[in-house]
Structure 1
Amino acid sequence: MSQPKSLSVLLLNLFSQKYPAIGESHGLSVVAGALRESFGDELAELYVMDMVAQGNESLDQAVRMIRENGVNVLVVGVPYGTYQILADHFAELQESISGRDALVVFGGALPTYLGSRILKEISREAFIIQGEAEAALPLLIKAWSCGGDTASIPNLLHLDPESGEEVWHPRRLVNLDDHGLPYRDHLPGIHQVGGQIFVETSRGCSWSSCTFCLRGLTDISGRSTEYRRRSPDLVLQDISTLLDLGISEVTFADEDFLGTSLDEVEEFVRALAPRLPGSMDFGASCTVHSVYSRRDDKETDQRRQELLQLLVKSGLKRVFLGVESCSPSQLKRYAKGHTREESLLAMRRLQELGVRVEVGVILLDPLCTLDEVEESLEFMSETGMVQVASGLSNELRLQNSSTYLRMVHRYQQENSVTLINGEMDADTLSFPYRFADSRVGELSRQVSKWSARVHPVYYPAKNLSRFGKAGVLRASEAGLALRAEIEEFRLQYAKATVAAIQELRRDGDPGPVLGRIIQPSLARLASQLQSALLSADESVRNHPVVLRALADSRNLPPEAP
């Protein structure tokens, strides 16, 4: 091996205005922490640039940093929505690093699934890290620095320098306790503008059966057995670091916070919760069955209730539940495993404990019927679930390699029809499609017109008001009023969609029906969003995401789309 190179590393995570939120890209923090743990003082310079925290698609700042600091290791995180940004701007990054011996690495969601395409279309010299990077990236940088062999490094994809053929390395999952604590030096600036801060206690999903879900990023085979937990001691060390930085509200990044068997969950929660600082509030994402299950006997149900009570006592304030639908047949098609009654009882159990609940909904899917959509919306409206539904116009993403994609292929073959009507979108890894039921297609077309109008107002309103004492709006009076207006808007949006369905059954035009209900409700939401954002701290008001939200809410067209 040759003498190790002096290392100047930039970790850069891209941002898309399609997803306007303010917060930490936790994967970036995790990888930076792994580099610091692995290299220690050997790392001459480590720069972390999170464009999600900045709310900025421009890479001008990254180009300047590369040039001014002699960066020779460039690691780019490419999340959903940023493929085209990378394609359009990588030449600028490449030019800034040209003329020196340099290593370029792409990682994150899109490189995990589109590695071959990135090597073909964007950079033939780069290395792709598929899935988890904590083990692979330090090993790759060390091998490159010393002129060593990369053959034994897991999770890599690259081109052979001689043959030009793709070289695929075996995938391997990391042990979450082996690679140190996340890097936190860059968080004060994110915290100052009310950005969302994450802590990780687990990876993977203990259910792993939803037909629409694309597995393979935090697992390999998409099996429940690949679910892993971090030790409570390391979680608490990370939280202690955040408290020292003045951070008092976090979100657990886990997709399945209370996953696996109740025995294992009890062991974890009872080791963690009593030691959590009372001054730290937190939110989490949970499956319905981890909160309530009809299969529980009385004793098991009581144990589950007591765990939730312990978590609430320890700071649990927010829970996201992946409900997805309240139509029994649609739930079966999604393979959610729970019933709508279980979803309702899980929501109410949390609310009775004082937890603010948000539920995920996939309203439309390629094989759904008007009856299913109406049934789902009416159940949610009658039970109060619709007011806490995150999105009420969401359509299923028909993602590559998902079970649902195979279901659509089978439906096409059995019915001699074509539903998939285009190439995969690289930003979302999903295929465009038409609906099996033409009336659902017309509903989608009409609702989509309004979604384009609603999204620039509703999406930031939802995201910027989601968090409590440390969020963008700091639980202000105007922020609480905005939350109430969001709930009313959701109720009106559901009412409008049901009315549109009924109009379609009469062979009428659903457009005017949607407009009569949505337009005035959206105007009220836009007005309340302006009031809330103008009441925010000055440092927050100048953030690009906030400025765009203000502009969009002020420029709302008065007429229907």
Structure 2
Amino acid sequence: MDMQLSVTLDDIINAVHTKQPDILGISATFGQHDLMIRLLDAVQGTVPLILVGGSLTVRNEALLLEKYPELLVARAAGEPTIRDVIAHWHGDLERDQVHGIGYVGAARGGAMAVGRRRTAAVPNRDADDFFPELDLLQDTFAHQGVMQLETTRGCTSQCSFCPRGHKGMWAGGAPEQLPWMLDALKEEFARHPEISRTLYLVDEEAIGRGDDAVPRALAVAAEISKAGFKWETSCRIDQVVHPGHDRAWHIERAEMWRALVRDGLRRMLFGVESGVTSILRRFNKETTGEQNAVAIRTLSALGVPTRFTYITFDQLMSMEELHATHAFQGRTDLLLRPLPHLSAEEIVDGVRDPAFVAEHSTGRPFYTGISYMLVSMEPLVGAAYTRMVQTAGLAGTVRPSMGRIDARFADPRIGACSERAQLWVDRNFALDYTLKSLEKVLDGEPRREVRAARVVIKDAAFAVFTAMLDLIDEHADPSQLRQLITRLDAMLDGQVEVLRSRMAATVPRVVTALPPQAADRLVREHSRWAATTGWTLINAADPCGT
């Protein structure tokens, strides 16, 4: 039962009381902690064995086991844990033999004191099944959702803001395992011809770093293409440009990227997170600003459809870094025109040549390629970045709902801008996310029109960012913080009226290009957004709301 598909909490509670299951599995993600607590309180004592999991659940493991000592908390990939839990239920395994769980109890034999325990997880490289069940896919499509799949698990990096050790070391699935799943998906997609035949590979790092990285990625793409699907996924920017590798490596990667596009790559997400080297060092991204710039040029010249994530504000940044962040987002020498007539060698060399870059630049600012503008760092529980915030004396209250802590900014002026940026994001989030969701299930001209509408929102966000820096420059004295905040609030009011006017002209044009169900959805969300007044956070009880 999935609450994204119109299932309510009462529906779930009633189903548990009616079906009386032996084992209840609950998966909760960020923002759903309170829902999970309500469910656990409602079914406590009526289900013999409860297993909870998900990224948020791992962040809140200690809190959950203190309140519900009978729980099992899944700490890794679910398939082996669930198999072991079933075996444990049938008496074939002791609890401490279940892979990848946290629990309260004594070690086997009761030789040690009762307390929190953890068992070893099955390494990703030993996993024999990355594929999902398809029982909810038709309902998902009926709700204009998308098909998600994994071809890899884990990550190759250790970003300081990402406390996801439970995800495990990177491992890639074998391409030859794909055909039977793709055949099953073709049958499901055939029932929904209105849904784009696009698979969303939720890999954190789709390529990997082994000697077989390129042939494996090409083999996966070939299988997906042969089945008639397009696909999107994510990987690190150093899969494009890496200062530790020679020219031959970069040429091979450029050829790989062109081949992936040929075999159905519809878009690739890169977490660049910053264009400022000092910030990247703090984030432990193992990249530099110049490396990111060359990679962005390379991808655009090769014609690779991209989207980028970027953290605009972080609690430890300086004013100089904020100005450098603004400058990088506004750069017009990063997004080049696709150059299919040039060889991989010519592109690899050309993107490092200022004259080549000037000749082929689109003139579009880089921020038009950023997925979500004005994002602030979220110090997550257990992250290395969070420990830096705590060391700096900036940490505040723990927020279980999002698995993070509140944190002040080292420079209160940047903090004031971050708070207003979050208000701006939340005011416009539902409309922007509606457009993003439609973009995922559409193709051709309708998809292009939706993307153009999202650029209107990005333009407005960058205008807000620019105005923030202008106001900071006018209120440089720390004693002027209150005046700065007043001016920032007035600026937001003015900028949202400009955006309201632009969207009033944009949405009717987009609607004419959309199929009826999508058009109705956009009209309904635009009307709600246009009628909104005032500024509130999505997570109203959470001052650092996302």
Which range, TM-score by smaller chain?
A: 0.7 to 0.9
Q: Secondary structure at the match of 2:241?
A: coil
Q: Tell me if structure 2 keeps the 8 A contact 1:135–1:179.
A: no
Specify every segment of 5 or more residues in structure 2 that has no aligned partner in the other structure, as ranges. Answer: 191-196, 333-364, 476-483, 538-546
- Counterpart amino acid of 2:398? M
Partner of residue 199, structure 2: 250
Which residue of 23, 37, 57 corresponds with 1:111? 57
Do the aligned partners of residues 243 and 350 (structure 1) sit closer, same or farther apart at CA in structure 2, a change above 3 Å counting? farther
Partner of residue 118, structure 2: 168
- Counterpart amino acid of 1:395? S
Which residue of 388, 397, 421 corresponds with 1:423? 397
- Counterpart amino acid of 1:119? L
Partner of residue 84, structure 2: 139
Matched, 1:505 2:473: yes
Matched, 1:447 2:421: yes
TM-score (ref. length: structure 2): 0.80
Q: Tell me if structure 1 keeps the 8 A contact 2:329–2:367.
A: yes
1:481-520 CA deviation, whole Å, 9 max, x = no partner? 2321211321231122122212111115233334333432
Partner of residue 335, structure 2: none
Query: Deviation at 1:439?
Result: 1.6
1:352-380 CA deviation, whole Å, 9 max, x = no partner? 34432111011111111233222222222
State the superposition RMSD in angstroms. 3.0
Q: Percent identity?
A: 20
1:396-425 CA deviation, whole Å, 9 max, x = no partner? 111222121222233x2xxxxx311x2211
Partner of residue 356, structure 2: none
Partner of residue 155, structure 1: 100
Do the aligned partners of residues 84 and 560 (structure 1) sit closer, same or farther apart at CA in structure 2, a change above 3 Å counting? closer
Do the aligned partners of residues 528 and 193 (structure 1) sit closer, same or farther apart at CA in structure 2, a change above 3 Å counting? farther
Bigger relative contact order, structure 1 or 2 (CA pairs below 8 A, ≥6 apart): 1
Alignment of 1:181-200 (within 5 A): 181-200=131-150
1:262-300 CA deviation, whole Å, 9 max, x = no partner? x32123124333333342000111111102234442211
Q: Secondary structure at the match of 1:372?
A: helix
Alignment of 1:119-518 (within 5 A): 119-121=65-67, 123-146=68-91, 149-160=94-105, 165-175=115-125, 177-179=127-129, 181-208=131-158, 210-219=159-168, 226-246=169-189, 248-261=197-210, 263-278=211-226, 279-383=228-332, 384-410=365-391, 412=392, 418-420=393-395, 422-462=396-436, 464-467=437-440, 471=441, 474-475=442-443, 477=445, 479-507=447-475, 509-518=487-496
- Counterpart amino acid of 1:118? L
Give the Cα separation in 2 of the matches to 1:237 and 1:341: 43
- Counterpart amino acid of 1:182? P
Give the Cα separation in 2 of the matches to 1:180 and 1:449: 38
Do the aligned partners of residues 239 and 349 (structure 1) sit closer, same or farther apart at CA in structure 2, a change above 3 Å counting? farther
Q: Secondary structure at the match of 1:284?
A: strand
Partner of residue 78, structure 1: 28
Query: Deviation at 1:140?
Result: 1.3
Give the Cα separation in 1 of the matches to 2:504 and 2:48: 47
Q: Tell me if structure 1 keeps the 8 A contact 2:234–2:268.
A: yes
Q: Secondary structure at the match of 2:427?
A: helix
Give the Cα separation in 2 of the matches to 1:286 and 1:180: 18
- Counterpart amino acid of 1:455? F
Which residue of 74, 79, 89 corresponds with 2:39? 89
- Counterpart amino acid of 1:250? L
Query: Deviation at 1:320?
Result: 0.7
Do the aligned partners of residues 533 and 152 (structure 1) sit closer, same or farther apart at CA in structure 2, a change above 3 Å counting? farther
Give the Cα separation in 2 of the matches to 1:76 and 1:534: 41
Q: Tell me if structure 1 keeps the 8 A contact 2:52–2:72.
A: yes
- Counterpart amino acid of 1:435? F
Partner of residue 553, structure 1: 529
Do the aligned partners of residues 529 and 89 (structure 1) sit closer, same or farther apart at CA in structure 2, a change above 3 Å counting? farther
Do the aligned partners of residues 70 and 362 (structure 1) sit closer, same or farther apart at CA in structure 2, a change above 3 Å counting? same
Do the aligned partners of residues 351 and 317 (structure 1) sit closer, same or farther apart at CA in structure 2, a change above 3 Å counting? farther
TM-score (ref. length: structure 1): 0.78
Specify every segment of 5 or more residues in structure 1 that has no aligned partner in the other structure, as ranges. Answer: 1-48, 220-225, 413-417
Query: Deviation at 1:94?
Result: 4.1
Matched, 1:524 2:502: yes
Q: Tell me if structure 2 keeps the 8 A contact 1:367–1:436.
A: yes
- Counterpart amino acid of 1:116? A
Query: Deviation at 1:86?
Result: 1.1
Q: Tell me if structure 1 keeps the 8 A contact 2:445–2:513.
A: no
Q: Secondary structure at the match of 1:292?
A: coil
Do the aligned partners of residues 379 and 111 (structure 1) sit closer, same or farther apart at CA in structure 2, a change above 3 Å counting? closer
Structure having the larger proportion of residues in helix: 2
Do the aligned partners of residues 529 and 233 (structure 1) sit closer, same or farther apart at CA in structure 2, a change above 3 Å counting? farther
Q: Secondary structure at the match of 2:388?
A: helix
Do the aligned partners of residues 177 and 237 (structure 1) sit closer, same or farther apart at CA in structure 2, a change above 3 Å counting? farther
Which shows bigger deviation, 140-149 or 497-506? 140-149
Give the Cα separation in 2 of the matches to 1:366 and 1:513: 22
- Counterpart amino acid of 1:323? V
Do the aligned partners of residues 530 and 493 (structure 1) sit closer, same or farther apart at CA in structure 2, a change above 3 Å counting? same
- Counterpart amino acid of 1:333? R
- Counterpart amino acid of 2:105? D
Q: Tell me if structure 2 keeps the 8 A contact 1:109–1:131.
A: no
Query: Deviation at 1:176?
Result: 5.4
